Structure 1
Amino acid sequence: MDKDNDTVDKETAPETNSSTPTAGWSDKLAELVAWFEANPNLPEKIEPIVMLRFLKCTAFDVERTKSLVELNYSMRNKNPHLFMDRNMEDEMTAKGLKVSDLLVLPGVTPEGNKLIFFRMADLDPRTRNSVEETKIFVMMSDARFTRPDVEREPGSGADYVLDEADIAEGDVQIVDIGGYTLRHLAHVSIFVLRVYMKFLQEAYPSRLQAMHVINCPSYLDKLISMMSPFLREEVRNMIKYHTEGLESLYRDVPRDMLPDEYGGKAGSVAELKARGIQSIRDNATYLSDERYWKVASQSKSRWSWF
């Protein structure tokens, strides 16, 4: 792929660590939803709360939001095996859910960020499947994006009024690589990794604020060398490797928000995982409805080279 085409302008990519006035966001949201539904290079429908996430991700800049949205759906349609061909009853997906723990932790941090946690549940390298792991992450994210990040009082859902303040400022990822060996690297698809990292860094409707890697192995330098070509410098600089226990992690994220097994009070990994899987099941119709994801024609898309 041409190098120039392979790098998206920083004005298009999601912002990191940005804060701007939000006045007039509801009018901008209405404008963007109307633009989306009239655009032949986009799917038929989008949930307003999902569009609001795109808008907040770009610091409420309408034109940059349009570019981000176009890139997101172009990448989805160019890689349907990762972003669109999803079925909870699929045997490979069910296996992927079993061997990996992907958790959206409850609440938001004092800075207004959402915590996302990942670890391997089965350490056998032969169980790794880059396609299914990516698919599950996107399914869980798409399900999560249909509801506020700031949790509401029980029973308030029916009366909920969309509010940009209920959308997280961004995501903080925590990745436990305990038990990860060089054999696991052999089972990583470079193509899938490249697409996933591009999507996460340049097309994802939530700003990546930080990434914490815990339980790091002795060969950490080799892992970093493998990942570096796929990371923008800005993202590389926000990754923190915790090599001596979890005390340093507790200084960066609220300890109480972590799973019980990691010294927190959010609930056990099994409980949190079950909640995430149920969220996907509850949104199964939405996740499989092509009207929200499939682009009928991309002939005019500026991102058609993906």
Structure 2
Amino acid sequence: MDKDNGNKDTASKSTSSSDEWGDKLAELIAWFEGNPNLPEKIEPIVMLRFLKCMAFDVKRTKSLVELNYSMRNKHPHLFMDRNMEDEMTAKGLKVSDLLILPGITPQGTKLLFFRMADLDPHTRNSVEETKIFFMMSDARFTIPDVERGAGNVEDYVLDEADIAKGDVHIVDIEGYTLRHLAYAMHVINCPSYLDRLISMMSPFLREEVRNMIKYHTGGLESLYEEVPRDMLPDEYGGKAGSIAELKARAVQSIKDKTAYLSDERYWKVASQSKSRWSWF
């Protein structure tokens, strides 16, 4: 099979048959395991996520994978030195509600939700929150995004259709001050001054970035037009469960994957001396 099939249109690649992407996946895993610039192991579903992200283009997938692990090894305090029992991690989990909501939207995307549980600006630790986000994401990436109900995990057959096409971020900034404000995909419960603030910031943002951010200043009805209401937490008019229930589930997902998240064979590169990404 030709690795460099970049001349095919994206649509045809994104609808690859299971035989086609299966061959590509096997090729990529073999390449990964024999590459000295990459860790020792990778879960097949994780590699499939990389492949789908790159529209099933093997060459581009290889570049993305090498960049990903090079970045991780350059910044181990964010991506590798992970311990659920760490005091700062525990504090970060306490002051923020970071949730991966169940199911996927009709558009094939996953919903991620964030809000502050403690409004004191002094409790914010962006480094720790970033670390927790990637712990939660890495745990999530090892399981399908489409929930198939009860069953034996060992009987699951890998299917690219069970993997989301992308993520939509929803951030509740109720209680935020200018000292808190950041960016997101959908920003809800916006304060009255935000319209003026957005106007001031717009000239400094690239157009593609401005178009990605949607601010909901008039309640949640406009958000419901963008994402399925039932997929939101109960507190936001949805049926996904309460914030407490969803957070407990999210924390448990990390705990369940503790061995995986701390296993250096999945993350650590022995040597990057030959890596073309060494300048990062």
User: How far, CA to CA, are the matches of 2:242 and 2:59 in structure 1?
Assistant: 42
Match of 1:20 in 2: 14
How does 1:42-121 map onto structure 2 within 5 Å? 42-121=38-117
Q: Work out which of the residue numbers 258, 282, 301 in structure 1 matches 2:256.
A: 282
Aligned residues of 1:45 and 1:291 also touching (Cα < 8 A) = yes
Q: 1:156 aligns with which of 149, 152, 155?
A: 152
CA distance in 1, matches of 2:14, 2:222: 30
Aligned partner letter, 2:146? V
Question: Residues 222-266 of structure 1, C-alpha deviation per residue, up to 9 Å, x if partnerless?
Answer: 57877997x765343221111110000000100000000000000
Aligned-partner residue type, residue 211 of structure 1: M
Contact 1:108 1:150 in 2 (8 A): yes
Please list, as runs of the form range in 1=range in 2, the aligned pairs for 1:1-306 lying within 5 A after superposition.
20-23=14-17, 24-184=20-180, 211-220=185-194, 222=197, 233-306=207-280
Q: Secondary structure at the match of 1:114?
A: strand
Q: Which ranges of structure 2 fall in alignment gaps of 5 or more residues?
A: 1-9
1:126 & 1:18 partners in 2: Cα distance? 50
- Measure, in 1, the Cα distance between the counterparts of 2:13 and 2:61: 15
CA distance in 1, matches of 2:130, 2:77: 10
Aligned residues: CA RMSD: 2.3
CA distance in 1, matches of 2:134, 2:48: 18
> What letter corresponds to residue 21 of structure 1 in structure 2?
T
How far did 1:216 drift?
A: 1.7
**Does the Cα contact within 8 Å between 2:185 and 2:213 map onto a contact in 1?**
yes
Cα distance change on mapping 1:55 and 1:232 into 2, 3 Å: farther
Distance 1:36 1:235 in 2: 33
Q: Secondary structure at the match of 1:172?
A: strand
Displacement after TM superposition at 1:19 (Å)? 7.4
Q: Go from structure 1 to structure 2 and tell me whether the alpha carbon gap of 1:181 and 1:17 turns closer, same or farther (over 3 Å shift).
A: farther
Alignment-mate amino acid for residue 69 of structure 2: Y
Q: Are the structure 2 counterparts of residues 302 and 25 from structure 1 closer, same or farther at C-alpha, using a change threshold of 3 Å?
A: same
SS of 2:180's equivalent in the other structure is: helix
Paired positions, count: 268
Question: Which structure 1 residue ranges, 4+ long, deviate > 4 Å from structure 2?
Answer: 16-19, 221-229
Confirm or deny: 8 A CA contact 1:228 1:236 kept in the other structure.
Answer: no
Q: Distance in 2 between matches of 1:25 and 1:150?
A: 19
8 Å contact kept, 2:174–2:189: yes
**Looking at CA atoms only, which structure, 1 or 2, has the larger radius of gyration?**
2
1:215 CA drift (Å): 1.3
Q: Residues 262-305 of structure 1: CA distance to partner in whole angstroms, max 9, x if unpaired?
A: 00000000000000000000000000001100111111222211
